[in-house]
């Protein structure tokens, strides 16, 4: 039997000097209490209680063991309370890694809300143009675009995005709307070296995509600068739907060649904590997932409501 369970039963019996009272207090059968005490005495090789038909009394060894058991159980309870309190306390540092191409405007509102709700937590947010290894780089949470490899990390799907070609309505009015990917060779192209360093754009899915090698007239290292240039009417750009969602909704940019775009890419929130992980991490994940699933720029599908929240990356 479990040693702590045996000690706990013995303390209750010893304090009340009654098997029946101990059984009621512990919500056990009298036979289970008797077996526990007998098992403990057999294990120790010493009698802890003197039993008669009318009473139960502690032996001298039993009195010493009762004091020791009380101290041991109190220490265990204190240790449990200490670690539980430390885990439940919303304080400490939280690290978040997000693809720089995902769009800071989607993540920063969550971080600001979280910091306002939990003033004793500090957040380190990393907007990077590379895949972060959460375990090796000791990150708590990451947002990742694309299909996930096998991993021990846990993933929560929050939506999907897709690459979109777009340009300002004024530019398309002056230069015409491309009808085929090959038409891009006759247009001004704006590209970001972060998302397309080779400036090779692929269209369509399957095993035979259309590949167009474009020569950008403007190459920048910032997605925001690409959007500014496109809105300003310079030319055509290709970014993720979540990055240009505001411009598309406002009519500042217009999508083109939509029929040639590939399948959407899933978006996941990744983490490595169990339900016993730090409270600050679990609370931030809850806020982040709810925010992203409700965000229109992620094309969140109603079917997401039926997806099991916690799953292993696959």
| 294 vs 168, more confident | 168
| 45 vs 300, more confident | 45
State the Cα–Cα distance between residues 64 and 71, nearest whole angstrom: 11
Q: Which residue has the tokens 């989607």?
A: 106
What is the SS3 assignment for 275? Answer: coil
Output the CATH code of domain 3-88.
Answer: 1.10.10.10
Instruction: Find out whether 298 and 292 touch, Cβ atoms under 8 Å.
Output: yes
Tell me the average pLDDT across 37-62. Answer: 88
* Residue ranges matching CATH 1.10.10.10 in the chain: 3-88
Q: Does domain 92-162+264-312 have CATH number 3.40.190.10?
A: yes
Instruction: Find out whether 235 and 171 touch, Cβ atoms under 8 Å.
Output: yes
Tell me the average pLDDT across 239-245. Answer: 85
Q: Which residue has the tokens 């769009």?
A: 103
> Class for domain 163-260, per CATH?
alpha beta
| pLDDT above 90 (res 78) | no
Strands (E), the chain: 49-51, 56-58, 92-99, 121-128, 141-145, 154-161, 163-167, 190-192, 200-203, 210-213, 218-220, 237-240, 254-256, 265-271, 311-312
Measured from the Cβ of residue 190, the count of other Cβ atoms closer than 10 Å reads 24
Residues whose CB is less than 8 angstroms from the CB of residue 16 and which lie 6 or more positions away in sequence, other chains included: 22, 25
Instruction: Find out whether 49 and 16 touch, Cβ atoms under 8 Å.
Output: no
Burial class (CB within 10 angstroms; exposed 0-12, middle 13-18, buried 19+) of 228: middle
Closest listed residue to residue 126, CA positions, set 110, 142, 115: 142
Confidence at 176, pLDDT banded by 50, 70, 90: very high
Beta bridge partners of 167: 254
Q: What is the pLDDT of residue 256?
A: 92
| pLDDT above 70 (res 16) | yes
CA dihedral over 70, 76, 82, 85, signed as positive or negative: negative
| pLDDT above 50 (res 306) | no
Q: What is the pLDDT of residue 301?
A: 41
Measured from the Cβ of residue 90, the count of other Cβ atoms closer than 10 Å reads 18
Q: What is the torsion angle, in degrees rounded to the nearest 10, for the CA atoms of residue 269, residue 275, residue 278 and residue 284?
A: 40
Instruction: Find out whether 142 and 288 touch, Cβ atoms under 8 Å.
Output: no
Mean pLDDT of the chain: 82
Q: What is the pLDDT of residue 152?
A: 62
Residue 153 half-sphere exposure toward CB, CA atoms < 13 A: 25
Tell me the average pLDDT across 150-154. Answer: 66
What is the SS3 assignment for 48? Answer: coil
Q: Which pTM was predicted?
A: 0.62
Q: What is the pLDDT of residue 165?
A: 92
Q: What is the pLDDT of residue 314?
A: 35
Q: Which residue has the tokens 């600050």?
A: 280
Tell me the average pLDDT across 80-107. Answer: 72
What is the SS3 assignment for 137? Answer: coil
Instruction: Find out whether 281 and 141 touch, Cβ atoms under 8 Å.
Output: yes
Tell me the average pLDDT across 90-94. Answer: 77
CA-based angle 270:271:272, to the nearest 5? 140
Q: What is the pLDDT of residue 1?
A: 57
* Residue ranges matching CATH 3.40.190.10 in the chain: 92-162+264-312, 163-260
| pLDDT above 60 (res 275) | no
């Amino acid at each position: 039997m479990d040693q702590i369970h045996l000690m706990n039963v013995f303390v209750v019996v010893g304090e009340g000097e009654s098997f029946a009272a101990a059984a009621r207090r512990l919500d056990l059968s009298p036979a289970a209490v008797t077996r526990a005490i007998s098992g403990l005495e057999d294990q120790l090789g010493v009698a802890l209680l003197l039993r008669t038909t009318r009473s139960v009394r502690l032996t001298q060894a039993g009195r010493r063991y009762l004091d020791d058991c009380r101290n041991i159980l109190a220490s265990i309870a204190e240790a449990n309370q200490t670690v539980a309190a430390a885990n439940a306390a919303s304080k400490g540092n939280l690290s978040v890694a997000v693809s720089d191409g995902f769009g800071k405007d989607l993540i920063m509102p969550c971080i600001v809300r979280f910091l306002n709700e939990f003033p004793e937590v500090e957040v380190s947010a990393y907007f990077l143009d590379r895949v972060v290894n959460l375990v090796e780089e000791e990150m708590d949470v990451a947002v990742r675009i694309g299909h996930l490899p096998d991993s021990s990390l846990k993933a929560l799907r929050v939506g999907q995005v897709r690459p979109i070609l777009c340009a300002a309505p004024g530019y398309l009015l002056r230069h015409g709307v491309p009808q085929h990917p090959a038409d891009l060779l006759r247009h001004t192209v704006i590209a970001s070296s972060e998302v397309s360093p080779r400036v090779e754009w692929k269209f369509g899915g399957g095993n035979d995509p259309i590949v167009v090698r474009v020569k950008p007239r403007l190459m920048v290292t910032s997605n925001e600068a690409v959007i500014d240039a496109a809105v300003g009417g310079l030319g055509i750009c290709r970014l993720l739907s979540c990055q240009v969602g505001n411009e598309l909704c406002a009519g500042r940019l217009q999508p083109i060649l939509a029929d040639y775009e590939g399948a959407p890419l899933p978006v996941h929130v990744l983490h490595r904590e169990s339900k016993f992980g730090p409270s600050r991490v679990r609370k931030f994940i809850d806020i982040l997932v709810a925010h992203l699933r409700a965000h229109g720029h992620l094309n969140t599908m109603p079917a997401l409501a039926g997806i099991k929240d916690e799953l292993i990356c696959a």
